[in-house]
Structure 1
Amino acid sequence: MKNIYIEKLQTLIQQSKFKPRTLNELREFLEIRNAKKERQLSDAVEYLCSEGAIVEKKKRYMTIEDAGFIKGEVIRSINGYMFIREVKTEKEYFVPPSNTKGAIIEDKVLFEVVKELSNQDEKEKQNSVAHIRGIIAREKKFLVGTYIVDNGRACINIETKHMKEKIWIDNSRHAVEGHEVVIKLNDKNKWEVCEVLGHKDEPTTEILSLLYNYGIKAEFDKETLEEAEAISQEVPEYEYYTRRDLRQESIVTIDGSDAKDLDDAIQLTINERDNYLLSVHIADVSYYIERESSIEREAYERGTSVYLTNKVVPMLPQRLSNGICSLLPNVPRLTISCEMEIDKLGNVLDYNIFNSVIQTKARLTYEEVNQLFKGNIEVKAQYPDIQQMLKEMNTLSKVLQKRRYESGSINFELKEAKVIIDENNVPTDIKARERGDAEKLIEEFMLIANETIAKHFAQAQLPFIYRVHDAPNEDKIILLSNLVSRMGYPELTIDKAMDPKQIQRLINGIKDKDLIKVIHTLGIRAMSKAIYSEDNIGHYGLSKEFYTHFTSPIRRYPDLLVHRLIREFFLEHNITKKNREYWAKILPKSAEHASRKEQRAAEAERELLEIKKIEYMSAFEGLEFEGIISNVTEQGFYVELDNTVQGFVLKENISSELQFKEDLYALIGPNETYVIGDKVQVMLEKADKHNKKIHFQLKKHGI
């Protein structure tokens, strides 16, 4: 039953009319006179407290602002010392061990500042001090660590990027030393083992541990699988008559050779005005997933598919992701299409968004299309009917790319690594992921479709979920500009740090291939993170006023939401006030949740990639390698090898006289200076998989 007092109190808060009151005073203020309404008010107050909208202080309920509290999130917990980040400003605070209120990593908390930074503190890189006053929400239901016995007591040793703690436990569940285990809080608020994953050295254990650590579900709920099983793998006959039937058109997919969740297909023709007619057809996943269904709820919770080194944790059950929703060749599939008329300069002159049914004529791979573009005769012979269309696609792709760069889009070209894994989950090689014209073609076509959809909604002034990217950190951009100038490129100096065209000029102006890698990495670090939002602030990195994610609804929840919004507002014309208000209320929370899940999935993917790199390098301990200094810190510097592996050289192993100069990206001593971008020769001392670190010893500088 709907609780009217939640909305009443929320309205008072929004209008700044919620004054500190006891529960009895609230009853009087709201003129509540019967027991049923009193219970509703109590439930509403309890709910708003749990959401962090109001708090109880000295027996009065008040807004967090009136209480002097701030919303934050626990971001690090190291040996009892905790750090939290303010939600609004992203400012970080230190929390002493005695004032954590039992919070753990990723908890949403309310905190009070007890010591602000002085100017001297800022220079010494100290944090303001805060005390946690309450826990709003616990993101992590479980923790994962290694079972050990310390001084006769059972405990769990947790070693992650953001958490290093020993947690004493009540119940070991037959775990033995070296086991990776999952722990949770019991009814007595004590930690206990709830699952033993296996020994920490077993290859399958590390993936299970990683998934638990990041809150990623490996399996689907029974109800979700049952719902998926009930969905027919055949397109209903009536859909051929209610949609635009494009089954006879020359529509193709282009994906990686191992991809199974094919959610985008494309076609290109030239119209009577000699303009391009680009059609982007996206799997109509929202057709198969009902609102409030178990599949929908689990897709929301997962937020995204997770792509690990040799395993995919999908957002949707395989019966959907690899079955009826996947745009497989020569079978009918339901799609939502965005058809765009584009001139020879890359301008979208007109567009149409509609329901469709397609039947792709070929399932192409990036490798095949790249070979075709290079003139490979065998590949040409395989696809005689579509090779001309593919060539025209390549031409349009380059037109769109040129237009995007001219508008100020920033392109960071970093070498991505792919770790080759054998059947026993053991890494056998590290290779660079190649990006040819085929990959760039798909990227450009998806970008223009996403932009078109976003612009359509923005102009209609309807609730929507945008993909936004704020301007970069100005101080970091200036530091980067100064570094590039000192390295021999004074002509690339930036005088307007927020101008994307100047950043683009700096990025593209570096000619030394080793320096390019370093500058591009530093450029990415200076950028803010792209997130999802109901408020459109544009996309700085792409230099686009309007942008969203529409093209991957099989693997990204925001894309699925965009499809729902297209269906309800434009295809079904449901633009009633009630529906607009529903989405305006839903989207902010959905955007924040999706952003958080995306970030967590990316961290999990990166962490496992790094673990596998370390595991691969362990066979080469004692050998020497050439690399470049990729980052400099107070403690030493990182060296990146040509295969993208990074390790650390401790300053104390070189000289105690070296001084860190942050603005110069350097360690400076009386006889030697180590600067980011310098070439060095190092010896691999230790590849430590469990501590997730590679240790190098410096052998030669300036090779």
Structure 2
Amino acid sequence: MFLEGHIVEFLDSEQLRIAYVRKQERDRLHLVDPRGRNLSVNGDRVVIVHRTAFENDFPAFARQISEEVARRQAEIDVELLWQSLAEKPRELEAEELAEIFFAEASPEAASAMFRALMEDTLFFKRKGSQFFPKTEEQVSTERTRRQRQREREEFRERTASLIRQLVNNKDVPVTPETEPILDRIQNWLTYRTGDEAAAILEEIVGAARAREAAYAILLGAGRLDPSVDRFLVMAGIDPEFPPPLLEAAEQLLPRVPQPGRIDYQDVPAFTIDDEDTLEVDDALTVRRSGSKIIVGIHIADVSAFVEKGDLLDAEAARRCSSIYLPTVTVRMFPERLSTDLVSLTAGVPRPAFTVEVEWDEQGNRLGYRIALGTIRVERRLSYDQADEIIEAGDPSLEALHGLAKHLHLLRAERGAITFRRPELKIRVHGDAIHIKKVDPNTPSRLLVSEMMILANGLAADFASVNSMPVIYRTQEPREALAVEETPAIEALTFERIRKTFKRSRLSLTPGSHSGLGLSAYTQASSPIRRYADLVTQRQFTAILSGRPAPHVREELLQILVAAEAAEQEIRAIEDRSTNYWLLEYLSRRKKDEPLSAIALDSKGSIELEDYYLRAKIAGPNKLQPGDTIKVQIEAIDPAKGEVRFRVA
């Protein structure tokens, strides 16, 4: 059809547009729209052809046509038209439908019909320029879908309005209208179930603050116990064990010495832990055999009580690790197991996974063996008690401390990171916040640390040599730095070292751990507290008993992935909780006091010397890295984990 000089309507992205055909080249039309913009389209996109006109008259005609089309479209009852065609459905052009409804098929009537059916898609399907009436079933189904969609949108609008009210009110009103919203938010926070109310909350306050906002809302509504740690609640972690787990733990019996285990009960064993530690998972022995020194590192044998796939194992796999917060400890196992049957309690025999190492008097390692044993702890020592005993010259502990210093130096020569900073131990009892500074470089802490690193390193060597499937921990080499380990520049030195750290990773293939200065490293020394350690221990105890390893590589890979994810999440929970209570302590006790700090850079980054807290100071400054200054709190919000200082 020759269209040059005509006013036409064509389809453009599912919309009808009016234009004037300035020129036609075969199937290509060169158009101009009412605003004078030039267009080029294929002729098959034209669906309505109006009158011919001069180009100069086109804008006026376009307005007239549009007004007439709008008037006609307002008259169309699409449902009535559909009903008249339902008995004999067939594909129809817009002109035919206009003829049926208006009793005429003018271009304006056809355009009005085309536009009406494009807007209301309930009753007709469109294919190109033709329309086909839908069946009654199709219309009914679509009506139901649209009704549900409207209800969802209305619910979303109501929910968003209510959530905004809840977010902005400290005293949350509990009404028949808010109750269902509170239910949904609580289910999302507690069970991590996907919910539209939670999605709306994330939109309103931001995904990063959604759980804090949910906690505040539920606390204000009286839905949460304020004595339960806020960070556990926000993470959806229930510290309690379900009744079947508690019952399974209660049914366990102490393990008496068994055949096949080496009996170490005649060798005096001792433990060194914090005063409040209840999950005691390692003990040490030291004895002489002629000129040789034999050191035993004994790990609680949890695998003797917890079998692969049983109820306790499944729960430990789900939890992945114990969680240590200032307010509470969330254990991986029920207390009947973790603080009783497997804990290396003084005076009772306990099954152990033992790494026994022989040394000459010069500190050269002569050999080692890994075995299953039975031990009886003779002395339980705190770190402070152990330090006093070492200082007093106790032969056993003094020998172990000397060996630990020797091992520490050897690892340092192999590139290990030996620079360890003091830490804060925060405990909350009722309304009281207690802060204790822990020095990791005391003789007893160095002793325990080096013995555990030794045991885990030798276990990794054993597994590697014997092609045992276990989970290894590896770390790529870091950038070498020459550092001066002095208290005066401790924070600055640590900041420099921290930037060179490579993240340690879990692997099924042995590899070097640069941070520890070892060729291979696994972790089997904390099976009461870390599920991956229990799995590794279980592999060893099976092999040492002459049985095949219970976990194949594919299972270990799944455990590895879960352990890495859980490790990050739990560390984040512990860090946030510790930071919250530190800021709460500073807010209560130190808000108006000048505090000593050291500048980490020239951009306002500082560290509080007594609290190892990194923060920013407000306003311009002329600080240089290493400067010591006095600062005061300018603004602090423990719940948000935010604090800002000013120069005092």
TM-score range, shorter chain: 0.5 to 0.7
State the alpha-carbon separation in 1 of the partners of residues 235 and 601 from structure 2: 27
State the alpha-carbon separation in 1 of the partners of residues 167 and 373 from structure 2: 54
* Residues 447 and 227 (structure 1), Cα distance of their counterparts in 2 relative to 1, 3 Å cut: same
State the alpha-carbon separation in 2 of the partners of residues 366 and 432 from structure 1: 10
- 1:659-674 equivalences under 5 Å are 673-674=622-623
SS of equivalent to 1:198:
helix
- 1:409-420 equivalences under 5 Å are 409-420=416-427
* Residues 556 and 347 (structure 1), Cα distance of their counterparts in 2 relative to 1, 3 Å cut: farther
State the alpha-carbon separation in 1 of the partners of residues 645 and 186 from structure 2: 29
State the alpha-carbon separation in 2 of the partners of residues 608 and 648 from structure 1: 20
Partner of 1:394: 401
* Residues 456 and 431 (structure 1), Cα distance of their counterparts in 2 relative to 1, 3 Å cut: closer
Asked if the contact 1:455/1:546 (under 8 Å) is kept, the reply is yes
The one-letter amino acid of 1:625's match is: L
State the alpha-carbon separation in 1 of the partners of residues 578 and 449 from structure 2: 23
* Residues 465 and 183 (structure 1), Cα distance of their counterparts in 2 relative to 1, 3 Å cut: closer
Partner of 1:310: 327
Asked if the contact 1:197/1:208 (under 8 Å) is kept, the reply is no
TM-score, normalised to structure 2, is 0.66
- 1:363-512 equivalences under 5 Å are 363-375=380-392, 387-421=394-428, 423-429=429-435, 431-433=437-439, 435-472=441-478, 497=479, 502-503=480-481, 506-507=482-483, 509-511=484-486
The one-letter amino acid of 1:235's match is: R
Provide structure 2 residue ranges, at least 5 long, that are not aligned to the other structure. 1-157, 169-176, 202-213
Asked if the contact 2:280/2:343 (under 8 Å) is kept, the reply is yes
Asked if the contact 2:491/2:607 (under 8 Å) is kept, the reply is no
Partner of 1:617: 586
SS of equivalent to 1:545:
coil
Asked if the contact 2:269/2:379 (under 8 Å) is kept, the reply is yes
Query: Which of 534, 537, 551 pairs up with 2:508?
Result: 534
- 1:13-52 equivalences under 5 Å are none
The one-letter amino acid of 2:349's match is: P
* Residues 179 and 300 (structure 1), Cα distance of their counterparts in 2 relative to 1, 3 Å cut: closer
State the alpha-carbon separation in 2 of the partners of residues 368 and 562 from structure 1: 32
State the alpha-carbon separation in 2 of the partners of residues 611 and 265 from structure 1: 34
State the alpha-carbon separation in 2 of the partners of residues 543 and 220 from structure 1: 39
State the alpha-carbon separation in 1 of the partners of residues 269 and 436 from structure 2: 35
Partner of 2:95: none
1:626 matched to 2:646? The reply is no
Partner of 2:259: 241
* Residues 680 and 307 (structure 1), Cα distance of their counterparts in 2 relative to 1, 3 Å cut: same
1:182 Cα deviation after fit: 2.7
SS of equivalent to 1:458:
helix
Instruction: Encode CA deviations 1:201-236: one digit per residue, 9 max, x unaligned.
Output: 99963853311333433112222212111111x324
The one-letter amino acid of 1:689's match is: P
- 1:162-173 equivalences under 5 Å are 172-173=179-180
The one-letter amino acid of 1:263's match is: D
The one-letter amino acid of 1:353's match is: I
Query: Which of 517, 524, 530 pairs up with 1:543?
Result: 517
Asked if the contact 2:229/2:327 (under 8 Å) is kept, the reply is no
1:451 Cα deviation after fit: 0.8
Instruction: Encode CA deviations 1:55-106: one digit per residue, 9 max, x unaligned.
Output: xxxxxxxxxxxxxxxxxxxxxxxxxxxxxxxxxxxxxxxxxxxxxxxxxxxx
Query: Which of 325, 336, 357 pairs up with 2:353?
Result: 336
CA RMSD of aligned residues (A): 3.4
Instruction: Encode CA deviations 1:630-683: one digit per residue, 9 max, x unaligned.
Output: 3566xx434424232343223xx32xxxxxxxxxxxxxxxxx643332222222
The one-letter amino acid of 2:625's match is: I
Asked if the contact 2:218/2:224 (under 8 Å) is kept, the reply is no
Asked if the contact 1:180/1:205 (under 8 Å) is kept, the reply is no
Partner of 2:152: none
Query: Which of 588, 591, 595 pairs up with 2:564?
Result: 595
Partner of 2:117: none
1:437 Cα deviation after fit: 0.3
1:150 Cα deviation after fit: 7.8
* Residues 235 and 209 (structure 1), Cα distance of their counterparts in 2 relative to 1, 3 Å cut: same
Query: Which of 287, 305, 311 pairs up with 1:294?
Result: 311
Structure with greater strand share of residues: 1
State the alpha-carbon separation in 1 of the partners of residues 572 and 192 from structure 2: 25
Instruction: Encode CA deviations 1:604-633: one digit per residue, 9 max, x unaligned.
Output: 111111111111111332332231123566
* Number of residue-to-residue matches in the alignment: 468
SS of equivalent to 1:541:
coil
Asked if the contact 1:630/1:640 (under 8 Å) is kept, the reply is no
Asked if the contact 1:549/1:559 (under 8 Å) is kept, the reply is yes
1:599 Cα deviation after fit: 1.9
State the alpha-carbon separation in 2 of the partners of residues 610 and 180 from structure 1: 27
Partner of 1:15: none
1:173 Cα deviation after fit: 4.8
Asked if the contact 1:175/1:181 (under 8 Å) is kept, the reply is no
State the alpha-carbon separation in 2 of the partners of residues 201 and 354 from structure 1: 54
Q: How high is the sequence identity, in percent, across the aligned residues?
A: 23
* Residues 555 and 420 (structure 1), Cα distance of their counterparts in 2 relative to 1, 3 Å cut: closer
Instruction: Encode CA deviations 1:448-482: one digit per residue, 9 max, x unaligned.
Output: 1111110001011221111211233xxxxxxxxxx
State the alpha-carbon separation in 2 of the partners of residues 184 and 528 from structure 1: 34
Partner of 2:636: 687
The one-letter amino acid of 2:448's match is: I
State the alpha-carbon separation in 2 of the partners of residues 609 and 227 from structure 1: 33
SS of equivalent to 2:286:
strand
- 1:25-424 equivalences under 5 Å are 153-154=163-164, 172-173=179-180, 182=189, 189-191=196-198, 198-199=219-220, 205=226, 208-232=229-253, 234-236=254-256, 239-272=257-290, 274-375=291-392, 387-421=394-428, 423-424=429-430
Question: Which of 680-689 and 214-223 deviates more?
Answer: 214-223
1:304 Cα deviation after fit: 1.1
SS of equivalent to 1:674:
coil
State the alpha-carbon separation in 2 of the partners of residues 155 and 467 from structure 1: 49
State the alpha-carbon separation in 2 of the partners of residues 462 and 643 from structure 1: 44
State the alpha-carbon separation in 2 of the partners of residues 335 and 623 from structure 1: 51
* Residues 428 and 587 (structure 1), Cα distance of their counterparts in 2 relative to 1, 3 Å cut: closer
SS of equivalent to 1:526:
coil
SS of equivalent to 1:515:
helix
* Residues 558 and 187 (structure 1), Cα distance of their counterparts in 2 relative to 1, 3 Å cut: closer
State the alpha-carbon separation in 1 of the partners of residues 264 and 195 from structure 2: 61
1:546 Cα deviation after fit: 1.0
* Residues 414 and 697 (structure 1), Cα distance of their counterparts in 2 relative to 1, 3 Å cut: same
1:324 Cα deviation after fit: 0.6
1:388 Cα deviation after fit: 2.0
1:637 matched to 2:605? The reply is yes
SS of equivalent to 2:259:
helix
Instruction: Encode CA deviations 1:255-276: one digit per residue, 9 max, x unaligned.
Output: 111111111111111223x222
1:691 Cα deviation after fit: 1.9
Asked if the contact 2:271/2:282 (under 8 Å) is kept, the reply is yes
State the alpha-carbon separation in 2 of the partners of residues 555 and 452 from structure 1: 21
* Residues 370 and 184 (structure 1), Cα distance of their counterparts in 2 relative to 1, 3 Å cut: closer
SS of equivalent to 1:611:
helix
Asked if the contact 1:412/1:524 (under 8 Å) is kept, the reply is no
* Residues 373 and 200 (structure 1), Cα distance of their counterparts in 2 relative to 1, 3 Å cut: farther
* Residues 275 and 403 (structure 1), Cα distance of their counterparts in 2 relative to 1, 3 Å cut: farther
1:510 Cα deviation after fit: 4.8
1:187 Cα deviation after fit: 8.4
1:149 Cα deviation after fit: 10
State the alpha-carbon separation in 2 of the partners of residues 643 and 251 from structure 1: 36
The one-letter amino acid of 1:395's match is: G
State the alpha-carbon separation in 2 of the partners of residues 149 and 691 from structure 1: 25
* Residues 179 and 689 (structure 1), Cα distance of their counterparts in 2 relative to 1, 3 Å cut: farther
The one-letter amino acid of 2:525's match is: T
